[in-house]
Amino acid sequence: MSEATIEVSGLRKRFGPRVALDGMSFTVRPGQVTGFIGPNGAGKSTTMRVILGLDKAEAGSALVGGRAYASLRQPLRHIGSLLDAAALQPGRTGRNHLLWLAYSQGLPAARVDTVLERVGLQSAARRKAGGYSLGMRQRLGIAAALLGDPPVLMLDEPFNGMDPEGIVWMRGFLRSLAVQGRAVLVSSHLMSELQDAAGHLVVVGRGKVIADASVTELLAAASGDRVTLRTTAPAEAATVLERAGAAVSADGDSGGQLTVTGLPAEQVVAMLAAAAVPFSEVSAHRASLEEAYFELTRDAAEFRAASPPGNPVTPAARANAGEATR
Amino acid sequence: MSYALRAEWTKLRTVPGTVWLLLAVVAATVLLGLVADAAASCPSGGCQLDLARTSLTGIYLSQAVIAVLAVMTIGSEYSSGMIRVTLTATPHRATVLAAKAVILTALVLVAGTVAVLGSVLVGGLILPAHGFTSAHGYLPLSLRDGPVLRAAAGSVLYLALITLLSLGIATAVREAAAGIGGVLALLYLIPIIAGIASPHWQRHLHQIAPMTAGLAIQATTSLRSMAISPWAGLGVLAAWAAAALLAAVALLRLRDA
Amino acid sequence: MRGGTLTGGTISAYQSETGEGRDRFAQLLRAEWTKFRTIRGWLAGMIIAAVVTVGIAALDHASCGGIVMPGGSVTAGQGCSSPVGPGGQAVTDSPYLVHQPLGTEGSITVRVTSLSGQPAGPASAGTAAGLQPWSKAGIIIKASDRPGSVYAAVMVTGGHGVVMQYDYTGDTAGPPGPVSAASPRWLRLIRSGDNVTGYESADGTRWHVVGTAHLAGLPATALAGLFAASPAGSTSAASSSISGSSGGSGANLATARFDHVIVRGGQPGRAWAGGTVGGNAGGPADTGFHQAGGTFTVTGSGDIAPDVPAASGGDGFAIEHTLLGIFGALVAVIVVAVMFMTAEYRRGLIKVTLAASPRRGRVLAAKAVVIGSVSFAAGLIGSAAALLTGEHLLRSNGNFIMPVSTLTEVRVVAGTAALTAVTAILALAVGALLRSSAAAVTLVISVVVLPYLLENTVLPAGAADWVLRITPAAGFAIQQSLPQYPQVAASYTPANGYFPLTPWAGFAVLCGYAALALAVAAIILRRRDA
């Protein structure tokens, strides 16, 4: 069996005049959770539907484990997926929903009970799915994706409708799947949901990939080389540091806080100490994933509300993270 | 295919409506047949009544119930979005439709057989009491009689073909309400609208309309004056069903799910 | 005030910038109408409904003379048009008449000793040949021998005893019983100005009044005479259109023997003149009269009565014949109306709707008003256009359309639109009850369209009548434009435009079902969780 991957290359598709996919290409590798992230309408769900053979792309290819989805005999043993957790007939019980799905892959009924237990849905399994909460439907959808014990998993917005406890559970669950060596692709439009869960990120906007990097790389790029300095002698500090080639600017009204660009934190500490300039705090600035994401997708967002007053959209980190990772 | 069959069978049996609809098929067939039998009377003989056709009148109604069953089978998957789950599990789309067709047809054949046998039984009990006796030149309604057997077995086949026609139309339309509207319009409207046509065209309409042609199989008397012969009529309906299914497969493969 | 403001440290409650509307129900209507018109498929469905109604009328290719009876001739006498009687209605006026002039004051008296009937040609299978229940012979005072002119007559009939009839629609029964040499009937008509009184007697001495008729416009010199007529036989069993076989009919002759013929107030010594009213083109050849001494033998065919297209040999079209396409429109309207409701449940839109207007009964009412109005409009446009198109086509193919009053025409067209609207409301309510579009569409089509189809195809006559009384399909009676005449034997079936209930009673049945369904839906909607 070939390596468990999803390989997407050069997908193009338009719905009428609207370009949905504009050369989407990326690869999902085993052993880690890959976050598939981008604003609404960026083409995440369309890409997933193309991967599953539900929609046809006008150009490009999407392969699961090196094969086209339509050629898979028992596809759920190769890739488990969750597109829309609400997509089930309300009159059928959760267990029976999994049962027909299992039979369609030649899997035994025992497998249904195994996955129900895995997602913690045993108690509700014999109730009609129409009465499930959104969170329960998500769990049922995850159970369906796990039915064939597939090496590849692909989940579209699995955090939707989950309570905080559910979100924590989902993060741990996704990590545990990746640790087992599976390739896991999880889409979201909220970076915070993927924090601590994803090891790799594919950021998309307007139908193509904007960034494809590990979380560490993205953060480093977004953080830049900035240091925040708190001192009672800002003027002396600025003189010392500027002499060493750094750019210094004052933050806030108090004047006691400076932002230093161009020198690493250790060097700032060493130089201030050598010049006997007093300081109370030196910290390397660390961008959040949120900031990195905003920076990347600033131009790619399809729909953006008029910004409400008193809540600036522009984050502090305006570093050239986008340039760095492109 | 066998996996897909098992999956479709599981789907159908785990949705609460199926059993009720199948029971409704039997009830509608037998009850409307009973009404028609009870209303028929021939106290003095000399009436021209096709006993087999009268006792099987209920098919006119139960075909609508069958159509609901077939249309819902695919329509509810589209309305809930579950069709995407189905097509993800079985990417070969023609297989999905074929599996649905096989399972539905099997169920309808069983329910249809029960319904038709019930109707013939009821007809055999009621009609002689209304003057349709051998004294008035009527043979008792019996399946040992060749034409009656043809009418009975043909009615079951008719229901099966209506199932396939409905499944095909609903798959092409992807919408339960529009699908059932289309099926019932095709079945019921042509005979009504034929009333406006000249006798020549009326005859042609009766030859090509799925319901009038298909139900020719129920005739046991005055076959000469029929617009179309029994088996040819059922063949016309079969052609309609085949065309609907082919169109459905083509659209299913062509369109994004 | 915009937003909250800080005043003395407290925050005043936020006031919605959108002001309170005045009429809540008008808002609901507007909301529901916006929902309706923004779904392209629903608007398309309504347009389809109107177009189908017209389109099917445009398919009408009936042509006069195209209806060939298996038995042979097309129809007895009249060709493709009917004369118009004094009441404006189409009439049949083709008896064999033997007549003399009659002044303003006068009378005619005869004794009838026999009435017999025979088929005009070889009898066709399945039709009653020979003496018909409404074969008739007797005496008549008539304005002229022009078809459609005013008249009054007393007569003996094949199955309805002695009858006085006048001006085609007037019909007064006298004593029952057949006529024979052993029990002859004496008949007398007395004219006094425009009034004619009919008498009958068993012995020629004791006379009884049968009835009196006022004949407006009876000329000073009218005709008095003897006549005989016999309508064509009607089929005994309802024809089964589903099997493609149709029943036939054949022309019949009636022969009556008269003696003791006395005319007063006429022109004494004048010879009797005979002939078929309106000429005998295409009619049976054996009509005529024979006079031997005081005995007259008169043989006639045809009828003198209102024209009924459904009668054997009738060849006109009722205006509602052009509105058959409404069945297609109904299917489209039912589908749209059901979806208008069930689409709310599809993805939980109902929760938004009920959050926006918590009074659920009013939501349903607003939906009913919207779907009813739209359907009415579609039905009105469709049926008015269909009527014009159909009438034009029928006329240009040489067909005769039964004349009706403008009021009736308006009732038929507006009634068809109302039928469409009420059916849509019924469908909406059933959709709210069942919440499953396929089941709701099927149920409504099965109770509205199917009964009409069954009635016209497989159901025996008795059951069929009841089906059109107790199911919502009774509403189609609103389309009936022609009255039933007891004095004309015809197959008064829905296929021919006759319903067991009167137009408004039938429509009331449909409305009753719709109201009931709507009420139950409102109650259920209120009780059930959305």
Beta strand extents in C132-266 (DSSP E only): 136-142, 151-157, 162-166, 170-173, 185-192, 195-201, 208-214, 222-229, 252-266
**pLDDT tens column, B23-36:** 999 999 999 999 88
Residues of B in Cβ contact (< 8 Å) with C334: 181
What pLDDT is recorded for position C126?
44
DSSP state for residue C12 in the 8-state scheme: P
Which of C1-10, C87-96, C378-387 bottoms out in mean pLDDT, i.e. has the lowest? C1-10
Q: How far is C135 from chain B (nearest CA, A)?
A: 24
Q: Which of C158, C66, C75, C64 is nearest to C121 (CA)?
A: C75
Which of A208-217, C50-59, C77-86 bottoms out in mean pLDDT, i.e. has the lowest? C77-86
**Tokens 């570093």 -> residue:** A319
What pLDDT is recorded for position C4?
47
For testing contact with chain B, the best of C64, C393, C441, C469 (most B CBs within 10 A): C441
Beta strands C288-292 and C295-300 are antiparallel
**Residue type at C111?**
R
What pLDDT is recorded for position B45?
59
Q: Which of A235-239, B67-71, C174-178 has the highest mean pLDDT?
A: B67-71
Alpha carbon distance C307, C89 (integer Å): 8
Residues of B in Cβ contact (< 8 Å) with C325: 193
Give residues with Cβ within 8 angstroms of A247, minimum separation 6: A260, A261, A262
What pLDDT is recorded for position A248?
84
Give yes or no for a contact between A52 and B254, defined as CB atoms under 8 angstroms apart: no
What pLDDT is recorded for position C360?
83
Q: Which of B154, B178, B156, B159 is nearest to B65 (CA)?
A: B159
Q: Do B84 and A89 touch (CB under 8 A)?
A: no
**pLDDT tens column, A277-298:** 888 888 877 777 777 777 777 6
Q: Do C441 and B36 touch (CB under 8 A)?
A: no
CA C477 from centre of chain:
8
Tell whether the model's pLDDT for residue C332 goes beyond 90: yes
Which residue of B10, B16, B80 is in closest CB contact with A100?
A: B10
Give yes or no for a contact between C235 and C495, defined as CB atoms under 8 angstroms apart: no
Pick C423 or C248 by higher pLDDT. C423
**Tokens 């129920």 -> residue:** B218
Give the rounded percent of residues in chain C with a pLDDT score beyond 90.
Answer: 33
DSSP string, C276-307: ETT--TTS-TT-EEEEETTEEEEEE-B-EEE-
Which residue of B11, B87, B91 is in closest CB contact with A100?
A: B11
A101 touches chain B (CB under 8 A): yes
Give residues with Cβ within 8 angstroms of A326, minimum separation 6: A210, A211
What pLDDT is recorded for position A325?
37
Q: Do C450 and B178 touch (CB under 8 A)?
A: no
- Give the mean model confidence (pLDDT) for residues A158-163: 84
DSSP state for residue C491 in the 8-state scheme: -
Q: Which of A66-75, C319-328, C370-379 has the highest mean pLDDT?
A: C370-379
Q: Do B80 and A104 touch (CB under 8 A)?
A: no
Residues of C in Cβ contact (< 8 Å) with B208: none
Q: Which of A134-143, C452-461, C484-493 has the highest mean pLDDT?
A: A134-143
- Give the mean model confidence (pLDDT) for residues A207-232: 81
What pLDDT is recorded for position A193?
79
Give the residue from chain C lying closest to B233, CA to CA: C243
A63 touches chain B (CB under 8 A): no
What pLDDT is recorded for position C178?
85
Q: Quick one: tokens of A311?
A: 């809540």
A99 touches chain B (CB under 8 A): yes
- Give the mean model confidence (pLDDT) for residues C119-138: 69
- Give the mean model confidence (pLDDT) for residues C346-372: 85
Give yes or no for a contact between C380 and C413, defined as CB atoms under 8 angstroms apart: yes
Cα A318 to Cα A8, A314, A315, B63, distances in angstroms = 31, 8, 7, 68
Residues of A in Cβ contact (< 8 Å) with B253: none
Band of residue C75 on the pLDDT scale cut at 50, 70, 90: very low
- Give the mean model confidence (pLDDT) for residues C146-154: 90
Q: Which of C138, C168, C215 is nearest to C483 (CA)?
A: C168
Give residues with Cβ within 8 angstroms of C497, minimum separation 6: C309, C310, C318, C320, C321, C479, C480, C481, C482
For testing contact with chain C, the best of B50, B59, B79, B196 (most C CBs within 10 A): B196
Tell whether the model's pLDDT for residue A323 goes beyond 70: no
Orientation angle between helical segments C437-448 and C406-434, nearest 10 degrees:
150
A94 touches chain B (CB under 8 A): no
- ipTM for the whole complex: 0.89
The residues with which C153 forms a beta bridge, in sequence order, are C140, C165
**Tokens 């009439």 -> residue:** C91
Give residues with Cβ within 8 angstroms of C488, minimum separation 6: C134, C231, C303, C305, C306, C308, C311
Tell whether the model's pLDDT for residue C460 goes beyond 80: no
Q: Digits of tens for pLDDT over chain B (257 positions)?
A: 789 999 999 999 998 889 999 999 999 999 999 988 888 776 665 667 788 888 999 999 999 999 999 999 999 999 889 999 999 999 999 999 999 999 999 999 999 999 999 999 998 888 888 778 777 777 777 788 888 899 999 999 999 999 999 999 999 999 889 999 999 999 998 888 887 777 777 888 889 999 999 999 998 887 777 888 899 999 999 999 999 999 999 999 999 88
Reported as type and span, the H/E element at residue A7 is: strand A6-15
Alpha carbon distance C270, B7 (integer Å): 97
Provide the 3-class DSSP secondary structure of residue B121.
helix
Which of A81-85, A269-273, C183-187, C384-388 bottoms out in mean pLDDT, i.e. has the lowest? A269-273
Task: List the strands of the sheet with A226-230, edge to edge.
Answer: A247-251, A257-261, A226-230, A281-284
**pLDDT tens column, C241-270:** 333 333 344 678 888 999 989 888 888 878
Give yes or no for a contact between C122 and C72, defined as CB atoms under 8 angstroms apart: yes
Provide the 3-class DSSP secondary structure of residue C393.
helix
Give the rounded percent of residues in chain B with a pLDDT score beyond 90.
Answer: 62
A83 touches chain B (CB under 8 A): yes
Alpha carbon distance A186, A34 (integer Å): 6
Q: Which of A77, A56, A48 is nearest to A150 (CA)?
A: A77
Alpha carbon distance B80, B11 (integer Å): 14
Tell whether the model's pLDDT for residue C124 goes beyond 60: no
Residues of A in Cβ contact (< 8 Å) with B89: 75-76, 101, 104-105
What pLDDT is recorded for position C25?
84
Q: Do B90 and A89 touch (CB under 8 A)?
A: no
Tell whether the model's pLDDT for residue C354 goes beyond 90: no
Give the rounded percent of residues in chain A with a pLDDT score beyond 90.
Answer: 43
Helices (H), C195-323: none
**pLDDT tens column, A5-57:** 899 999 999 988 899 999 999 999 999 999 999 888 889 999 999 999 999 99
DSSP state for residue C95 in the 8-state scheme: -
- Give the mean model confidence (pLDDT) for residues C279-300: 80
**Residue type at C229?**
A
Tell whether the model's pLDDT for residue A307 goes beyond 80: no
Q: Quick one: tokens of A282?
A: 């030196």
What pLDDT is recorded for position A300?
61
